[in-house]
Structure 1
């Protein structure tokens, strides 16, 4: 029995209990597909003993210098998927997640997808501002900060709805210990402070979009995205 497949199915089953009817349906369909493909029964999956994967770091494709909001988004995602994050710095700061291998992979997927969504909307907002003869300064920052706050509130509501998620997604003791050792080699800290630039309507739009952010459609795109199901989040 393939352990990785079993773990994916288990997490998909958890996602299938989502209060979001569409996301639950997508997860259940994916579960059925994997059961048939690997000739497994639900009973076999449910009775299979879980395991903990290796603790590793996963370096993302996300870098920044001035766009400090990216570090705030990375922190939010890491905190909600049982991981830590840090930077590799050489000219620019490269976001890297640290935790159980499957959790760190999920963090990368969510971070890169969220940034793609943010950039797509910001491009439209900048275009609209230019058409009106307005400055585009601070638009990206304020939209992103709103998005991050909206997503944070979404995470908190999910935890309130399903307390088991909150327990599952906590950093386990081995991850905490491993990161404590890892952090001893860090050279210093990076200033990631950023503040609201005054675009209130844009901030509000970001907040609303953050609350609605969902990666469930990605679940049905192929095997590469199946790993996302391990998170157990409704996102």
Structure 2
């Protein structure tokens, strides 16, 4: 593998990660851009898959939780679909930590942060509506988040079925799994949580999860998403 192609290879890998987006349009745009770069630089999928210059990193996020266990379940779903592993650093709260290739960790962080923002924004609107009508909102966040995660999982599964060849590129590398398995974990963090009875809220979450897209965030100009914008440019 020619050294000068390293940055291009990493860029294509990021695009392939984004091609697993639950949003059909977003996934197709990323896939087409990856294909364009493969042709332009005379690279093959085989070369991309066999590229072994793997830099595995461990990065602590700013996402913490104690009662909101759904955040841990959401992180688990995202890492499973973007080639990473995760665990929790625990003191007063549980902090989500990602392990993976640096480009995959970056994508996981962005997707997780935006998904949580989307969930919390929707929950705030729903709480306002329920309180306005005199209803309790205890457990509402939990049920909306569970629905959102279910919908996002369905969207990922559908995307993987439609793009099986590309999905193979995003499987966890042995180096990532080995790094994770060599961590000396202490204690257990439970992320199971029970449905609280907000049926309408739950199914609204399912619908929003199936339609979740990071396209607006990428196009929005936020500094923290400049790296993703760069992936699509050029």
**What TM-score, normalized to structure 2?**
0.82
Query: How far did residue 3 of structure 1 move?
Result: 2.5
Relative distance call for 1:6 and 1:55 in structure 2 (3 A) is: closer
C-alpha separation between the residues in 2 aligned to 1:107 and 1:28? 21
Cα deviation 1:7-53 (Å, max 9, x = unaligned): 31465478689993466457768998xx8xxxxx9432536954343
Structure 2 match to 1:44:
41
Structure 1 match to 2:140:
139
Structure 1 match to 2:195:
196
| 3-state SS in 1 of match to 2:68 | coil
Structure 1 match to 2:10:
7
Equivalenced residue count is 220
Alignment of 1:92 onto 2:93: yes
Structure 2 match to 1:20:
24
Cα deviation 1:157-210 (Å, max 9, x = unaligned): 11111112332222122221121112xx11111122211000000000000000
Query: How far did residue 60 of structure 1 move?
Result: 1.0
Structure 2, unmatched stretches of 5+, are none
Relative distance call for 1:58 and 1:74 in structure 2 (3 A) is: same
Structure 2 match to 1:69:
70
| Partners of 2:127 and 2:140 within 8 A in 1 | yes
C-alpha separation between the residues in 2 aligned to 1:191 and 1:26? 35
| Partners of 1:10 and 1:46 within 8 A in 2 | no
Query: How far did residue 72 of structure 1 move?
Result: 0.3
| 3-state SS in 1 of match to 2:138 | coil
Structure 2 match to 1:106:
107
C-alpha separation between the residues in 1 aligned to 2:110 and 2:18? 17
State which drifts further: 54-63 or 139-148. Answer: 54-63
Relative distance call for 1:192 and 1:213 in structure 2 (3 A) is: same
C-alpha separation between the residues in 2 aligned to 1:189 and 1:227? 38
Cα deviation 1:64-94 (Å, max 9, x = unaligned): 0100000000000011111111001110100
CA-based RMSD of the aligned residues comes to 3.0
C-alpha separation between the residues in 2 aligned to 1:55 and 1:133? 51
| 3-state SS in 1 of match to 2:43 | helix
Relative distance call for 1:29 and 1:190 in structure 2 (3 A) is: closer
Structure 2 match to 1:233:
none
Alignment of 1:55 onto 2:59: no
| Partners of 1:53 and 1:102 within 8 A in 2 | no
C-alpha separation between the residues in 1 aligned to 2:139 and 2:74? 17
C-alpha separation between the residues in 2 aligned to 1:177 and 1:6? 23
Structure 1, unmatched stretches of 5+, are 36-40, 230-235
| Partners of 2:69 and 2:193 within 8 A in 1 | yes
| Partners of 2:16 and 2:166 within 8 A in 1 | no
Equivalent residues in 2 for 1:156-195 (5 A)? 156-182=157-183, 185-195=184-194
